Structure 1
């Protein structure tokens, strides 16, 4: 089989947003800044820019160190640990402020599941209603996280198409949700990774995702980082 024919069987799409100065960030975080340093148009020999960004801006990945003292940093993860060959998109439409709960995730039957993408439909508000997107985002319940870790021991990553896995304005719930995912527990296997602020606008019920690859910024000793998320899509 030729390389050309192989390549026609699939394509890659991005499930992450492009970072820009007007990129949405979780309320309370500093906005992204991109400042020109050198410009060819101003007589310099090359272009350079200074990027000032919080490590949880835009589409980003949370490692256990985000909420767990002594937890792993995102730079501790190998490429293999950030590649997922049994992903699934769970269609779970949510209204503003609602939670993905145990009833939603109990529909999953794939015991090989290693990456779960929660499609709440809230990505539709990312550009059309930023205020709603940031202030009334859906999240996932702590109980649903515990259920996933208990029932799917091969699961390593959960992503969502809202600004955070936890609802804005629910501080205690936020801590519980993240600790439920990141806490070491011999009954639940290894801690999960969270990917937040996914762009699932190109995904529908007919999309066949064969693989998900998460590529974080490679900065040492960070509890999380902006990332590019790629999905390998089957065409046949």
Structure 2
């Protein structure tokens, strides 16, 4: 069975800081006697809805979304962890030290906090959790094959901890030296991600600017 781990884009899609919107309007309509249904989609920011951050988002010499090898968007070793959270905090190393169920060979780590349930409330953008900067190196050490982290809150940056969030983006996406980048998928739909998965595929929009953007994320449940 295939399930979707990304939200449907709509005009009600929340944005980080509540600053941006998606606008959808008819260009032509069969109901109005025209030949076909077509629409105009306007994103006031490409980092809205379920989306991926590439290295170019936070470092000028980082890889753009379309420059990343396509196989980097396909994952066979997937782990989902539950770290319940109902308000702003920095999820840190201590939260993961309590867990023992993550395979050392994990390629995609999904963090389910339950914060997705607040997606229609203001607290989703103004009181969201985030990931602490030191988690990036912790993940590289503990899970050397990890290529991507996704989660069910609006941004890697907590609105209440913005300076730390900016550093987290740099540490995950463009740490420098010989450290590898870890891709980030924000605002995922993980309420149904309680199964083991045979694979997960992430399908980004490839745009010439390439600092990130909307993704569709599909997963195949592992048969029992």
- TM-score class, shorter-chain normalisation, is over 0.9
Give the TM-score taking structure 2 as reference length: 0.93
Match of 1:208 among 172, 178, 196: 196
Q: Separation in 2 of the partners of 1:96 and 1:235?
A: 35
Shift of 1:38: 1.1
Question: Stretches of 4+ moved more than 6 A in 1?
Answer: none
Give yes or no for the alignment of 1:148 onto 2:151: no
Mapped to 2, the partners of 1:212 and 1:229 lie a distance apart of: 7
User: Where do 5+ consecutive residues of structure 1 fail to align?
Assistant: 1-10
Structure 2 distance, partners of 1:26, 1:179, is 18
Give the one of 180, 200, 213 matched to 2:171. 180
Contact 2:88 2:128 in 1 (8 A): yes
Matched, 1:125 2:115: no
1:95 Cα deviation after fit: 3.0
**2:213 counterpart of 1:225:** yes
For the Cα contact (< 8 Å) 2:108–2:148, is it kept in 1? yes
- Quick check: 1:60 aligned with 2:51? yes
Work out whether residues 16 and 154 of structure 2, in 8 Å CA contact, stay in contact via their aligned partners in 1.
yes
For normalisation by structure 1, the TM-score amounts to 0.88
How far apart are the structure 2 equivalents of 1:178 and 1:150? Answer: 18
Once the two structures are TM-superposed, the CA of residue 187 in structure 1 deviates from its matched residue by 5.0
- 1:235 deviates by 2.8
Compute the RMSD of aligned alpha carbons.
1.5
Deviation sequence 1:132-151 (CA, Å, 0-9, x none): 11111111111122211222
User: SS of the residue aligned with 1:13?
Assistant: strand
State yes or no: 1:95 paired with 2:102: no
SS across alignment from 1:142: coil
Query: Aligned partners of 1:209 and 1:100: how far apart in 2?
Result: 24
Instruction: Return the offset for 1:77.
Output: 2.1
**Which residue matches 1:36?**
26
